[in-house]
């Protein structure tokens, strides 16, 4: 048996959910760039600044104090209190009261927050609606749970992507349990307006759906004086079924830490604790101490990251707007998601771009329905690298034309 | 609506797998002891020594170097190489060759290794056989995955617990996909002999089952010169379907870190990578650096922990053997699992013991079929605490008689 036949034989021995879990389309393209000197990698959703030193030092001090034992499953009290206080500062309380610490559950990454949120609301065979283009890990995690992700494409217009509530309503079936709302969206940058959010909440109340709310990029606001983009926090009442999934990754340059949180109605806390117990059984105390310090003293570090992203956003918006055949809506979060006229295979296009111009983009096809022909570029990076990448891309496009 | 009615209403809105995930019976008893001064807690599977300083320092140095970015999903090469070398030292290679690094996948805890292993082999509705008494998180994780854990009790005898292969064979049905083998066992201390392992492998070959092998406590050998208890590594051929799940928690006093690994046939590596991606998307690089150093330089720290556990094991074995009505088989791993004559509700008994004698034990009922009437005591602890706990227990038992 040759080794590829052997791999097939082994995979036939796996469960179908495991065998059918898709590889990330982003990772597939990244392989083309692996080990290339001089490539400018704009494909991953991650800045290029390491975690601020004061956060790292907090973790090191905690370890040195011997905080290396098992921990409470929902998270240490200091961090749950810190999350409540942080949300109070951003949203001025919830339901007319300060946020209770019991709404917050610390998870081993935003990804795990999503895994647990899906498991909370969807049994095998159930459905979850996902507006697309979307971060591929969300629908993939739905599939791994044995449920089905129903993709509903956003409408593209250079004036802005648009979520059509009628499209969502039409996708609701008898087994639909939840709607995933990611605003600002990775990859499109679509950002829900207050009116969008009010309509989404109303629809989900009427059709008896959970909302899994991913507002991970909400602090990265452009052209507004408010500390966040519009949030479901300002639209819900105590009976609304909303699970917020979030992460320390983007706000405090902690992508490599794998620490996130779920915010949920306190009444389902025991179910969340159990799912944490049977997933990874908690997050290291020393990481939680560091995360708590990021919340309480990280606001100026976050401001610097936002300023840097704003500069990056301006650079790439200006540069790409000048390239014939390129179109895009106003970018949000960390991303500019642009279309190149005439491209029908974005994976192949991205692979060629790597080889010929040393610029790394994520292919739109990786983001599901409505993504083909588009490319995602992360602008939360060094401005010089962004300028150089755009120049290389413009030059390559002009030679290609 | 009162708050308990409200909690019921909320839970009716959850998926059934989430709503039915059981709370840990160990945690339930621990609640009785929460905040009690002077209690000696022997209920958790964790030593009382913090992580060795050189391991913590390695993590701190890595963070300070800025290793805070996303990481390869299977783990950093240094740690995968380190795991291969560690296994070479213990088992002298595999299938006549050095262990390949590609067999090893770093996970966010041993618990996550189990979660992923179950997901790899069992779809919703499938069955996994679990010899019991067993660590409750294993069958609970099977349930969360939508599969069914079929409990097969070991046979208790003070001369030793015994796994009856006929009992296992009788439990195999058309949807049985895997057999869980935990040796040395948490909580019973049962340790498979070479003959047991040979028979288990033969049965699983014949009946087309995966083995999920948990040899987490294998380094804690008592009364043998070999560096590990008997291992499936010495019984398998390349076609055997065995997933080893393991952790850094016990060997290097890293319970609070949440770092583990899966060892698996290389052919299913892509499926494992995807399941890691959609679970927590990897483990912090700085933790992996620390784990690699634990492997390469942690052997003397591990020896000290083994010596300490051996002393603890002798203390509790001698003390409990002298208490009328108490019986147990030779303890293994971190645990002595003993029966108290006439006890039919171990949860209630354990709660009373906390209140009246300030000794914390895990109730046998938490460990599934065959566990009622027993109690688990962790002896990987300070010898003075163990002596004092045993004295308190003996005294309380004599007053109770």
Last residue of one domain, picked from the residues A296, A313, A342 = A296
| Neighbouring C-alpha atoms within 13 Å toward the C-beta of A87 | 28
Whether B342 has a pLDDT exceeding 90, the answer reads: yes
Last residue of one domain, picked from the residues A296, A330, A361 = A296
Residues on chain A touching B42 (C-beta within 8 angstroms): none
Whether B272 has a pLDDT exceeding 90, the answer reads: yes
Q: What's the rounded mean pLDDT across residues B380-391? A: 97
Q: Which of B11, B119, B253 is facing A18, going by the closest CB pair?
A: B119
Residue listed under structure tokens 């807690």: B41
- Which of A7, A11, A18 should be substituted to probe chain B, the one whose Cβ sees the most B Cβ atoms within 10 Å? A18
| A118 min Cα distance to partner chain B (Å) | 9
Residues A145 and B158: their CA atoms lie apart, in Å, by: 43
Residues on chain B touching A108 (C-beta within 8 angstroms): 108, 112, 258, 280
A225 and A307 fall within a common domain = no
Whether A3 has a pLDDT exceeding 90, the answer reads: no
pLDDT in tens, B121-141: 999 999 999 999 999 999 999
A30 and A78 fall within a common domain = no
| Contact between chains at B63 and A66 (C-beta distance less than 8 A) | no
Q: What is the domain count for chain B?
A: 1
Domain-embedded: residue B98:
no
Q: How far is CA B70 from the centre of its chain?
A: 28
Q: Which of A15, A63, A275 is facing B123, going by the closest CB pair?
A: A15
Q: Which of A21, A56, A254 is facing B64, going by the closest CB pair?
A: A56
Structure confidence at residue A1 (pLDDT) = 42
Domain-embedded: residue A183:
yes
Residues A253 and A236: their CA atoms lie apart, in Å, by: 29
Whether B331 has a pLDDT exceeding 50, the answer reads: yes
Residue B232: left if φ>0, alpha if ψ -120 to 50, beta else—which one?
alpha
A371 and A387 fall within a common domain = yes
Whether B70 has a pLDDT exceeding 50, the answer reads: yes
Domain-embedded: residue A58:
no
Q: What's the rounded mean pLDDT across residues A97-121? A: 98
| Contact between chains at B280 and A22 (C-beta distance less than 8 A) | no
Q: What's the rounded mean pLDDT across residues B339-368? A: 96
Pairing type for strands A335-340 and A326-328 reads antiparallel
Domain-embedded: residue A319:
yes
A85 and A198 fall within a common domain = yes
- B177 vs A10, more confident: B177
Residues on chain B touching A71 (C-beta within 8 angstroms): 256
Beta bridge partners of A127: A148, A176
Whether B35 has a pLDDT exceeding 80, the answer reads: no
Please say whether the beta carbons of B114 and B137 come within 8 A. Answer: yes
Whether A364 has a pLDDT exceeding 70, the answer reads: yes
User: Alpha helices of B92-159 — where are they, by DSSP H?
Assistant: 110-121, 137-144
Percent of chain A with pLDDT strictly greater than 70: 99
Last residue of one domain, picked from the residues A249, A268, A296 = A296
Torsions phi, psi of B341, nearest 5?
A: -55, 135
Residues B397 and B399: their CA atoms lie apart, in Å, by: 5
Chain A: residue whose CA lies nearest to B9: A267
Structure confidence at residue B262 (pLDDT) = 98
Structure confidence at residue B36 (pLDDT) = 84
Residues on chain B touching A257 (C-beta within 8 angstroms): 68, 284
Residues B70 and A46: their CA atoms lie apart, in Å, by: 8
Structure confidence at residue A4 (pLDDT) = 61
| Contact between chains at B111 and A270 (C-beta distance less than 8 A) | no
Domain-embedded: residue B343:
yes
Whether B6 has a pLDDT exceeding 90, the answer reads: no
Percent of chain B with pLDDT strictly greater than 90: 90
pLDDT band at B5 (very low <50, low <70, confident <90, very high): low
Chain A: residue whose CA lies nearest to B16: A123
pLDDT in tens, B90-101: 999 999 999 999
Q: Which of B66, B109, B271 is facing A50, going by the closest CB pair?
A: B66
Structure confidence at residue A34 (pLDDT) = 74
pLDDT band at A51 (very low <50, low <70, confident <90, very high): very high
Residues on chain B touching A63 (C-beta within 8 angstroms): 51, 56, 59-60
A198 and A240 fall within a common domain = yes
pLDDT in tens, A165-196: 999 999 999 999 999 999 999 999 999 999 99
Classify B150 as helix, strand or coil: strand
What is chain A's mean pLDDT, rounded?
A: 95
Chain B: residue whose CA lies nearest to A143: B278
| B245 min Cα distance to partner chain A (Å) | 13
Structure confidence at residue A55 (pLDDT) = 98
Residues A376 and A132: their CA atoms lie apart, in Å, by: 13
Whether B20 has a pLDDT exceeding 90, the answer reads: no
Domain-embedded: residue B390:
yes
Chain A: residue whose CA lies nearest to B30: A72
pLDDT in tens, A247-280: 999 999 999 999 999 999 999 999 999 999 999 9
Residues on chain B touching A111 (C-beta within 8 angstroms): 277-281
A175 and A251 fall within a common domain = yes
Pairing type for strands B374-378 and B335-340 reads antiparallel
Whether A35 has a pLDDT exceeding 90, the answer reads: no
Structure confidence at residue A280 (pLDDT) = 97
| Contact between chains at A51 and B64 (C-beta distance less than 8 A) | no
| Contact between chains at A257 and B284 (C-beta distance less than 8 A) | yes
- Count the Cβ atoms, other than its own, within 10 Å of residue B180: 26
Domain-embedded: residue A341:
yes
| Contact between chains at B137 and A277 (C-beta distance less than 8 A) | yes
The whole domain housing A237 covers 64-296
- Which of B3, B4, B12, B14 should be substituted to probe chain A, the one whose Cβ sees the most A Cβ atoms within 10 Å? B14
Whether A227 has a pLDDT exceeding 60, the answer reads: yes
Q: What's the rounded mean pLDDT across residues A104-115? A: 98
Q: What's the rounded mean pLDDT across residues B343-365? A: 96
| Contact between chains at B123 and A16 (C-beta distance less than 8 A) | yes
DSSP type of residue A162: B
Domain-embedded: residue B101:
no
Q: What's the rounded mean pLDDT across residues A146-161? A: 96
Percent of chain B with pLDDT strictly greater than 70: 99
- Which of B204, B271, B275 should be substituted to probe chain A, the one whose Cβ sees the most A Cβ atoms within 10 Å? B271
What is chain B's mean pLDDT, rounded?
A: 95
Chain A: residue whose CA lies nearest to B265: A10
The CATH number linked to A367 is 3.90.1150.10
Q: Which of A21, A253, A285 is facing B275, going by the closest CB pair?
A: A21
Chain A: residue whose CA lies nearest to B146: A124
A178 and A235 fall within a common domain = yes
| Contact between chains at A21 and B278 (C-beta distance less than 8 A) | yes
pLDDT in tens, B191-228: 999 999 999 999 999 999 999 999 999 999 998 889 99
The Cα-based distances of A345 to A349, A365, A374 in angstroms read 6, 8, 9
| Contact between chains at A137 and B50 (C-beta distance less than 8 A) | no
């Amino acid at each position: 048996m040759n080794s590829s036949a052997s791999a097939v034989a082994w995979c036939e021995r796996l469960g179908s959910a495991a065998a059918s879990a898709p590889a990330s389309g982003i990772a597939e393209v990244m392989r083309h760039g692996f080990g290339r000197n001089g490539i400018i990698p704009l494909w991953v959703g991650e800045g290029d600044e390491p975690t601020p030193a004061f956060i790292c030092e907090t973790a090191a001090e905690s370890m040195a104090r011997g905080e290396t034992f098992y921990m409470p499953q929902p998270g240490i009290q200091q961090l749950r209190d810190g999350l409540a206080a942080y949300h109070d500062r951003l949203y001025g309380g919830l339901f007319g009261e300060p946020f209770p610490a019991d709404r917050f559950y610390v998870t081993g990454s935003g990804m795990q927050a999503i895994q647990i949120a899906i498991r909370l609301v969807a049994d095998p065979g159930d459905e979850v609606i996902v507006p697309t283009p979307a971060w591929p890990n969300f629908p993939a995690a739905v599939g791994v749970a044995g449920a089905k992700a129903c993709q509903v494409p956003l409408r593209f217009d250079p004036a802005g992507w648009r979520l059509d509530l009628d499209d969502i309503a039409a996708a609701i079936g008898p087994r639909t349990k939840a709607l995933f709302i990611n605003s600002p969206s990775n990859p499109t940058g679509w950002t829900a307006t207050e009116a969008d959010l009010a309509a989404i909440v109303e629809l989900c109340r009427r059709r008896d759906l959970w909302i899994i709310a991913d507002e991970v990029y909400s602090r990265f606001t452009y052209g507004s004086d408010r500390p966040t983009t519009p949030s479901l926090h300002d639209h819900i009442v105590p009976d609304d079924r909303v699970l917020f999934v979030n992460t320390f990754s983007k706000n405090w340059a902690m992508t490599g830490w794998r620490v996130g949180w779920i915010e949920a109605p306190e009444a389902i806390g025991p179910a969340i604790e159990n799912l944490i117990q049977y997933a990874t059984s908690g997050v290291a105390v020393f990481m939680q101490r560091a995360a708590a310090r990021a919340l309480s003293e990280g606001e100026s570090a976050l401001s610097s990251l936002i300023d840097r992203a704003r500069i990056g956003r301006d650079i790439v918006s200006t540069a790409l707007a000048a390239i014939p055949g390129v179109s895009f809506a106003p970018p949000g979060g960390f991303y500019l998601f642009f279309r190149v006229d005439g491209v029908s295979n974005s994976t192949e296009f991205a692979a060629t771009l790597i080889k010929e111009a040393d610029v790394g983009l994520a292919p739109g096809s990786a983001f599901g329905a409505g993504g083909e022909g588009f490319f995602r570029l992360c602008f939360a990076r060094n401005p010089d690298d962004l300028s150089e990448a755009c120049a290389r891309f413009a030059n390559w496009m002009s030679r290609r034309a």
